[in-house]
Structures are given as structure tokens and as C-alpha cells.
């Protein structure tokens, strides 16, 4: 391609020379031609291939309601989506289920929780999800809401208070699970009433909004230390000739039994989603498989093999580059990549924990070198508003990472592994 360009350029020299002389720019033209030729010829052939425009690449970001106010004002939200569009992002994952509440008006939540919407002021009188879909689609963005909390809820939430019988526990009966400084509890994913509630929330969002997909993560599983509540113990005994669950919560058979039950539920939810909207993609953004399975009973590698995942974004939130790269090389990752678009979640920062833009650039490069489907960043506010570098510097860096717009990698749209 470059060779042909140079030949055509040289063939055009006589005409250009006459024009340059007429404009008294002859010497300037020769200088430019010489520099251009030198630069082009110095680029190795492998790098020249990278000049070819990409057709598909996930360029996503999670929009959260924690340490971020992007979702709490319609004009701020519109401005954020416009900025993302300007910088050639193509996908947003707005959270819609968090802190025991929906972030969109929900009849299902109203019935069970007593509130149809998170009571924070910035969401009242609005339908945030409708705004994201309409504005996002208007700017050509793919919108895949994130069902962030899954089966988890704050210990003091209205949901936990209204339905204490829905909660699961450890072997000693304790229910509190620490997430940082926060006290959480977990709805029992094996209890039919819980399964029905979660499924109804999901189907409601899929049915009522023109979303492109819906996303789950490890919270759609269960911390492996939990699952010793009376209902789950009785179910296990029923399927094991009266034998009680092992005392060791990491016992391989006990882990597998619970993980298989969650997989069965994932299949049920997938089927329910497709029954409502066939083209609604099912996305999962888990930790690497070993951690996800052992600590959260979320066997996403099996989900993928069963065809229950159509957009996989693996959270590889590592600062150590060697560790980051090693996570990209696991066999289950390579297997998934042969079937579906597999992208990598990259940490762009946390509140009080800034990630330098150079680290982000390097990690994106490592992902691209291995020809993954793309990247998504956690989370919006840390892209440029919450960083050690100036916002303009960060935005310029992302513009350089994504110099041209490309399409979201969707199997339905022609993406191929």
C-alpha cells in the first residue's frame, strides 16, 4: 500500500513541481517529499499493516453511580456521552442495579422492595436508562446496561430488611460479607423466590428499553464461603442421600455443586432474555476464571462453552504488567476467543488511586498485540476527571489510543474470531 502510494506520488512530481514553481514553493515541496519518503520507507512492513483501518474493536467504559455523578444529571450525562463519542469510544455499560435498588423506574422493584427507584435526588423524576439509550444511540454508541450487584445487597438495605428469609449464610449462621468497608449480604441464588425476582428485574429491563444487551459479572454468583442456609442445605441433602454439605466451603465437590446450580440458573435467564428480545446480547464481565470460580462460584468458562455468553469482558485489573499479560494467556481465554468477542477490562483508576495514562496505553497495546476484540475501562470518572494528569492530557491520550471510529464487535454484525 505504501509502495504504491510513493510510486503514485513520484509520478505526480512534474505536475506538482510546476505548481510549486508557480507558487514559489518548489524547495518547500522537495523538503516535504523527502521527509515523507524517508518516514514511509523507515516503517517496517509489520507496522505498515497496522495502518490498515480496524473494522471492529470494543471501546467501552463502565458508567457507575459510585464515586461518580455522571448518571445523576441529564445534562452531565449527555455531555459525557458526547465526549466519549468525540474520543471514538463505541460502548457504554451503565449500571442499573446497585445498592439494593434499580436505577430505572421498576414495577418489579416497587413490588418487592417498596421503591421503584434508587431514592438519591439525582435520579428522581427521570428515567436515566431511557436517557442513556436514546442519547447513546443517537451518537452511535452501543448501550449494554450493567446488572452490577447481582445477588448482592447492602446489609442495611430495604431489600434485606423486607426479605430476611431470602438471605444465605455461612456454616456458623453469619450473613455479613465484607466488600471493602461495606457490609453486604447475599440473596440466596438457589431459592426459587430469589431466582424469580432477579429474573423479573432482568426481563423488565430487556422488555421495556431498546438496549443492545445486558451485562452480569461475578456478583451473579455467590461467595464460596456462603450457601449454608437451611434451604440450600436441605436441597444438597436431598440430592446426596441425606449427606450434609462439607464443612470446608472450598471442598471441590461442594464448590462444583453450587457452581452447577448457578450455571443452571444462568441458562434459564439467558433463555428468558432471548424469549423477549432475541437480539439482546448477554454480556459477562467476570474476574479471571480461577478466581471467579473458586471465590464466586461463577463458572464463566462453562457458560461460554454452553453458548450463554455473547460478549465477554474479562476484568484484568492489574498494575504489574507481567501479571496482566499472564492473565491474557490462560487456555480458557484462548478457547473463548475462538467462539465469541473477548475483550479485556482495564482499570483506569479508583478514587484516591490514580493510574498513570502510560500504564493504560501499555496495557491497551498488550491487548491489541494479542488481537483481542477490544478493551473497556473501569470507570468513567477516572478516564480524565479523577487522575493525576490534567483532563486535557488524558483526553488527548485516549484520542491517540482511538484515532478513528470503529464498530462494536458483534457476532450479529459480522464480527468473526
Q: How confident is the model at residue 383 (pLDDT cuts 50, 70, 90)?
A: very high
Place of cell 476467543: 337
CA distance 81 to 92: 9
pLDDT-based confidence at 29, cuts 50/70/90? very low
User: For the segment 285-332, what is each residue's pLDDT rounded down to a tens digit?
Assistant: 999 999 999 999 999 999 999 999 999 999 999 999 999 999 999 999
Kindly tell me the sign of the dihedral angle through the C-alpha atoms of 184, 187, 189, 190. positive
Q: In the structure grid, which three cell numbers stand for residue 274, read together?
A: 432471548
Distance, in Å, from the CA atom of 226 to the CA atom of 319, rounded to the nearest integer, reads 30
pLDDT tens for 179-228 read 999 999 999 999 999 999 999 999 999 999 999 999 999 999 999 999 99
* pLDDT score of 414: 80
**What is the pLDDT at residue 411?**
81
30: confidence class by pLDDT, cuts 50, 70, 90: very low
pTM comes to: 0.87
User: Does 4 have pLDDT greater than 50?
Assistant: no
> Mean pLDDT in the chain?
89
* Cα separation, 340 vs 7, whole angstroms: 41
Cα dihedral 326, 330, 333, 334, rounded to 10, equals 110
> Could you tell me where the beta strands, DSSP code E, fall in 194-234?
213-216
Whether 32 has a pLDDT exceeding 70, the answer reads no
Q: C-alpha angle with apex 143: 140 to 148, nearest 5 degrees?
A: 160
Other CB atoms within a 10 A radius of the CB of residue 5 amount to: 11
Please give the pLDDT value at position 413: 79
Percent of the chain whose predicted confidence (pLDDT) is above 90: 84
**In whole angstroms, what is the distance from residue 74 CA to residue 155 CA?**
30
Domains delineated in the chain? 58-148+195-219+270-401 (3.20.20.80)
The residues facing 374 across adjacent strands are 58, 343
C-alpha distance from residue 306 to each of 14, 257, 263, 264, 267 (Å): 63, 17, 10, 11, 8
Q: How far apart are CA 357 and CA 255, in angstroms?
A: 39
Q: Give, rounded to a whole angstrom, the gap between the first and last alpha carbons of the chain.
A: 25
Residues 275, 268: Cα–Cα separation, whole Å? 11
* DSSP-based three-state secondary structure for 149: coil
For residue 412, the model assigns a pLDDT of 77
pLDDT at 63 over 50: yes
Say yes or no to pLDDT of 67 above 70.
yes
pLDDT tens digits, one per residue of 241-283? 999 999 999 999 999 999 999 999 999 999 999 999 999 999 9
- Compute the average pLDDT of residues 12-40: 36
pLDDT of residue 271: 98
For residues 167 and 198, what is the distance between their CA atoms, to the nearest angstrom? Answer: 14
C-beta separation of 257 from 251 below 8 A: no
What pLDDT does residue 54 have?
64
Tell me how far apart the alpha carbons of residues 382 and 387 are, in angstroms, rounded to a whole number. 6
Mean pLDDT of 332-349: 97
- Does the structure show a pLDDT above 90 at 82? yes
In the chain, % of residues over pLDDT 70: 87
- Give the lowest-confidence range in 39-48, 320-329, 346-355, 364-373: 39-48
pLDDT, tens only, 107-117: 999 999 999 99
Q: Is the pLDDT of residue 416 over 90?
A: no
Are the beta carbons of 41 and 35 closer than 8 angstroms?
Answer: no
Q: Is 371 left (phi over 0), alpha (psi -120 to 50) or beta?
A: left
Strands 349-350 and 353-354: antiparallel
- Which residues lie closer than 8 Å to 61 by C-beta, 6 or more apart? 84, 89, 91, 92, 93, 376, 377, 378, 379, 380, 383
Looking at residue 61, its pLDDT comes to 98
Confidence of residue 344 (pLDDT cuts 50, 70, 90): very high
Res 366 pLDDT > 80: yes
More confident residue, 16 or 287: 287
Asked whether the beta carbons of 92 and 132 are under 8 A apart, the reply is: yes
- The torsion angle over the Cα atoms of residues 262, 219, 154 and 251, rounded to 10 degrees, is 60
Amino acid at each position: 500500500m505504501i509502495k504504491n502510494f510513493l510510486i503514485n506520488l513520484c509520478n505526480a512530481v512534474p505536475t506538482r513541481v510546476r505548481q510549486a514553481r508557480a507558487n514559489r514553493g518548489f524547495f518547500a515541496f522537495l523538503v516535504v517529499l523527502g521527509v515523507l519518503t524517508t518516514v514511509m520507507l523507515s516503517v517496517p512492513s509489520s507496522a505498515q499493516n497496522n495502518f490498515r483501518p480496524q473494522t471492529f474493536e470494543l471501546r467501552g467504559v463502565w458508567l457507575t453511580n459510585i464515586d461518580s455523578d455522571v448518571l445523576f444529571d441529564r445534562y452531565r450525562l449527555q455531555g459525557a456521552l458526547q465526549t466519549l463519542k468525540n474520543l471514538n469510544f463505541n460502548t457504554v455499560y451503565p449500571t442499573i442495579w446497585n445498592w439494593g435498588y434499580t436505577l430505572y423506574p421498576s414495577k418489579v422493584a416497587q413490588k418487592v422492595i417498596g421503591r421503584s427507584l434508587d431514592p438519591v435526588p439525582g435520579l428522581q423524576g427521570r428515567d436515566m436508562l431511557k436517557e442513556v439509550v436514546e442519547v447513546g444511540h443517537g451518537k452511535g454508541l452501543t448501550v449494554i446496561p450493567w446488572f452490577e450487584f447481582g445477588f448482592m445487597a447492602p446489609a442495611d438495605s430495604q431489600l434485606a430488611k423486607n426479605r430476611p428469609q431470602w438471605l444465605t449464610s455461612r456454616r456458623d449462621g453469619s450473613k455479613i460479607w465484607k466488600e471493602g468497608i461495606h457490609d453486604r449480604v447475599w440473596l440466596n441464588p438457589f431459592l426459587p423466590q430469589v431466582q424469580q425476582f432477579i429474573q423479573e428485574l432482568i426481563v423488565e429491563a430487556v422488555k421495556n428499553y431498546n438496549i443492545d444487551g445486558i451485562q452480569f459479572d461475578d456478583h451473579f454468583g455467590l461467595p464460596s464461603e456462603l450457601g449454608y442456609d437451611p434451604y440450600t442445605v436441605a436441597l444438597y441433602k436431598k440430592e446426596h442421600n441425606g449427606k450434609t454439605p462439607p464443612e470446608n466451603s472450598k471442598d471441590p465437590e461442594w464448590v462444583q455443586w453450587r457452581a452447577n446450580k448457578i450455571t443452571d440458573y444462568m441458562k434459564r435467564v439467558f433463555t428468558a432474555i432471548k424469549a423477549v428480545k432475541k437480539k439482546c446480547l448477554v454480556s459477562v464481565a467476570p474476574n479471571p476464571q480461577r478466581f471467579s470460580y473458586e471465590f464466586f462460584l461463577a463458572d464463566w468458562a462453562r457458560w461460554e462453552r454452553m453458548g450463554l455468553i455473547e460478549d465477554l469482558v474479562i476484568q484484568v485489573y492489574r498494575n504489574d504488567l507481567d501479571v496482566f499479560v499472564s492473565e491474557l494467556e490462560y487456555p480458557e481465554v484462548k478457547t473463548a476467543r475462538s467462539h465469541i468477542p473477548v475483550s479485556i477490562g482495564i482499570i483506569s483508576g479508583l478514587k484516591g488511586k490514580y493510574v498513570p495514562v502510560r500504564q493504560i496505553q501499555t496495557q491497551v497495546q498488550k491487548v491489541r498485540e494479542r488481537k483481542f476484540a477490544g478493551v473497556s475501562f473501569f470507570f468513567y470518572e477516572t478516564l480524565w476527571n479523577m487522575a493525576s494528569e490534567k483532563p486535557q492530557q488524558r483526553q488527548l491520550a485516549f484520542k491517540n489510543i482511538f484515532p478513528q471510529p470503529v464498530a462494536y464487535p458483534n457476532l450479529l454484525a459480522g464480527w468473526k474470531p
